[in-house]
Structure 1
Amino acid sequence: MVNPMKISSVQIFWLMISMEIGMTVLLTITPAIRAAKQDAWISMLIAAVAGILITFIATKLSLLYPNQTLIQFSQTILGKWLGKAIVVPYFVMWYSVMGIILRQSSDFIQIVLFRKTPLWAVVLLALILMIYATYQGGIEGIGRCSELLGPFIVLMITAVLVLCYHNMHWTRILPVYQDSGWFTIFKGAVSPISFLGESVMMTMLVAFMSKPKDGLSRAMWGVGLSCLLLLLSTLAAILTFGNLASRMWYPFFDMARYVSVMDFIQNIDAVVVIVWLLSVFIKLSLYMFIASYGTAQWLGMKDWRKPIWFISPIVFVLALLPANIDVASMDYPTKFWIPYILPINIVGIPVLLWTVGSIRKKWAK
């Protein structure tokens, strides 16, 4: 399958930020504070190091075969049948996480904006938008969207943090380390690591870059900036609410509700909703493209768009399967994503392929 689509290194930078920051800020702060209490910001530092390291491994692996995607170079490294078998967990990951993200975002939209709208209608509208962006634009269209929307997302998050400053009290971060210890701090880092580790999709994106060698630095800078914003957001939530943030669904969103500058700048929680929607749109479109393109390569199909039409119904059904918001937002991460996807898809398989691929490259020389 010939690939005519190309994206720039700048677009990779904004893709990483747009894809990472929205859901990570809204969904990982609560589990981190619940585990590490006021030391959750230390957990975020650990998660940042791990996230950047995962990005480094995934990109270095792809640079061994810069013109091939994960589906292709896995077969180059391990042989046709073993290479095809080892990527099956990624299809499970891509399909399932699209359904869960779609459900989480739809639940959020319904709770905040459309309480009387049926959930299936919100899910369907979001799915149609995702299909349209992927089918019409492909990775080039998604890259351009991230280049346009990414700066706006970063600006809005920064604005919320600045405007919330007068509600912060530095005593709420004390005592440092004494109430938690390293075990609970590391436990608090697991959830954000699992989200930041989604940069493993670089194994599918480097092949589309016009200058693959620039991918490593741009991807790491993109994830690094996302980590910085996540760290500052976690710190702001702790300084604003203290350990009470562990009982909130979305501390960053609730923090924005308390903003009041001279009784003029108020109700900026709508800004958080916009940031969430933009980030989720980029993330879902990116996952849809990767799943469709990867499925087409795995099945030997010439048109990468065709799988969209059978992937979409699967995603729609998966989005409606969770009984409530607890199953989608709590059970899926704790019972499936963290114990299986994180060690296998995000860490284990990339490290294995990178090690074997590097050895084969040296032998070939």
Structure 2
Amino acid sequence: MRRMRTEEEKITGSQLGLLLFTFIVSTIILTIPGLMEMFAKQDAWLSVFPSITTGLLSIWVMTALAKRYPGMTIMQYSEKIIGKWLGKCLGFYYVYFWFMSISVMAKQHTFFIHTLLLPKSPSIVGSLTVLVLSGIAVYLGIEVIGRSTEFLTPMKMVLLLPLFFLTLRDLDPGQLKPVLAEGILPVLQGAIVPAGAFMNQMFILGWLLPYLNFPKKARKVSLLALLGISIFIFIVVLFTIMVLGPLTGKLNYSYLSVMQYIGVEGSFERLEAIAVSIWVLGSFEKIAVSLFILCLSISQLFGIRNYRDIISPVTLLAIIGSVWVFKNSSDLLAYLTFIYPSAGLITQSLIPLSLLLIDAIKRKAGRSLR
């Protein structure tokens, strides 16, 4: 089979938008209501609004950098902005970041499958299967990943939308009261987790924009994806609190509990099977994109001509990392709640923003010296 050259791979604007959308929504909808309710209590639905600002900032920064350095990933233009050696150091950090991210994603997938579906299977089974499938998808290229997302995302929405309508009969608006009982600070604290998710979503633009067939559509597509994600998360958090109330923050997969609760006896039962389907498909898409970014980053860092040449060893290392990264679900929950948001803020917002500022200063200084 003829290998497709990297520069020939292209994705459309709709595929990019769906990649951004599914990168967040597919897995986070089951966990984010509980994480937000831990801080904001019944006001967690309000936390969605301040969290959007990080997504807007990331979109502006990443699209501005891509416009200044067309056809380049953040790995490539970092060296042009801050110099070869500092750029290489930043590249090593991004490789480490994406390796850890894939390990965490695979471990999170493993815990979910082990808890809900295969409690007696070895924990490595979940990470092994999803990473091998993702490796195959990465070998086929980002264009194939984009096309699969174009097919899988609408299918997941078809499964989810009827659940929203089934939830309507069990909603209790009284669970949202009192509004802002403890002031605005808990709302801002509850916004930290979705803010990290929005940053992560838009951060991948640093690697995907060079593959967009019409780069001028990047900002519009990204904003539409952010709007869709914001509306979706708002509905999920709002419905979960209105159904479960104070129990939301005590459950690891709170929206899964909503699905189990709304089952109609004799008609619609075992609705958690839908949650499992959405989670598995979402984990595959998310890990495939992340693995593509990791392999692309390593190839650009070390000057490897084709990122496909390193997919097998990188996938193997990711499997090992998924086994090693966390011992139990409590460690994973602590990481997602306290460590990831702050690390994400530095990695996905402050560093790209610093690159943009440094580049702007260098260009302005260069013009003044002419």
Normalised to the residue count of structure 2, the TM-score between the two structures is 0.93
Give the aligned partner of residue 284 of structure 1: 287
Quote how far apart the aligned CAs of 1:130 are: 1.0
Deviations 1:133-186 (A, max 9, x none): 111x211111111111112223333322221111110111011001x3221111
Q: Is the 8 A contact 2:137 2:144 kept in 1?
A: yes
Give the aligned partner of residue 315 of structure 2: 312
Q: Which runs of 5+ in 2 are unaligned?
A: none
Deviations 1:74-120 (A, max 9, x none): 11222211222223322121000101110111111121111111111
Give the aligned partner of residue 273 of structure 1: 276
Query: What secondary structure is seen at the aligned counterpart in 1 of 2:174?
Result: helix
Query: What secondary structure is seen at the aligned counterpart in 2 of 1:87?
Result: helix
Give the aligned partner of residue 190 of structure 1: 192
- Identify which range, 315-324 or 225-234, moves more after superposition: 315-324
Residue 65 (structure 2) pairs with residue 48 (structure 1): no
Quote how far apart the aligned CAs of 1:262 are: 7.4
Residue 166 (structure 2) pairs with residue 163 (structure 1): yes
- Identify which range, 235-244 or 44-53, moves more after superposition: 44-53
CA distance in 1, matches of 2:8, 2:364: 30
In the superposition, relative to structure 1, how do residues 155 and 354 fare at CA in structure 2: closer, same or farther (>3 Å)? farther
Quote how far apart the aligned CAs of 1:47 are: 1.4
Give the partner amino acid of 1:189: A
Quote how far apart the aligned CAs of 1:41 are: 0.5
1:118-133 equivalent positions in 2, closer than 5 A: 118-133=122-137
Quote how far apart the aligned CAs of 1:70 are: 0.7
CA distance in 2, matches of 1:47, 1:188: 9
CA distance in 2, matches of 1:317, 1:168: 43
Give the partner amino acid of 1:89: Y
Quote how far apart the aligned CAs of 1:9 are: 0.8
Residue 67 (structure 2) pairs with residue 63 (structure 1): yes
- Identify which range, 199-208 or 60-69, moves more after superposition: 60-69
Match of 1:80 among 61, 80, 84: 84
1:202-351 equivalent positions in 2, closer than 5 A: 202-261=205-264, 263-321=266-324, 322-328=326-332, 330-334=333-337, 336-339=339-342, 341-351=343-353
Query: What secondary structure is seen at the aligned counterpart in 2 of 1:307?
Result: helix
Match of 1:138 among 138, 141, 147: 141
Q: Is the 8 A contact 2:6 2:306 kept in 1?
A: no
Quote how far apart the aligned CAs of 1:22 are: 1.6
Q: Is the 8 A contact 1:94 1:287 kept in 2?
A: yes
Give the partner amino acid of 2:188: F
Give the aligned partner of residue 105 of structure 2: 101
Give the partner amino acid of 1:347: S
Query: What secondary structure is seen at the aligned counterpart in 2 of 1:231?
Result: helix
CA distance in 1, matches of 2:211, 2:109: 28
Q: Is the 8 A contact 2:110 2:127 kept in 1?
A: yes
Q: Is the 8 A contact 2:98 2:294 kept in 1?
A: yes
Query: What secondary structure is seen at the aligned counterpart in 2 of 1:177?
Result: coil
Give the partner amino acid of 1:315: A
Quote how far apart the aligned CAs of 1:331 are: 2.8
Query: What secondary structure is seen at the aligned counterpart in 2 of 1:207?
Result: helix
In the superposition, relative to structure 1, how do residues 161 and 48 fare at CA in structure 2: closer, same or farther (>3 Å)? farther
Q: CA RMSD in A?
A: 1.8
Give the partner amino acid of 1:342: G
Give the aligned partner of residue 32 of structure 1: 36
CA distance in 2, matches of 1:125, 1:97: 17
Give the partner amino acid of 1:103: K
Quote how far apart the aligned CAs of 1:17 are: 0.8
Q: Is the 8 A contact 1:64 1:357 kept in 2?
A: no
Query: What secondary structure is seen at the aligned counterpart in 1 of 2:307?
Result: coil
Give the number of equivalent residue pairs: 361
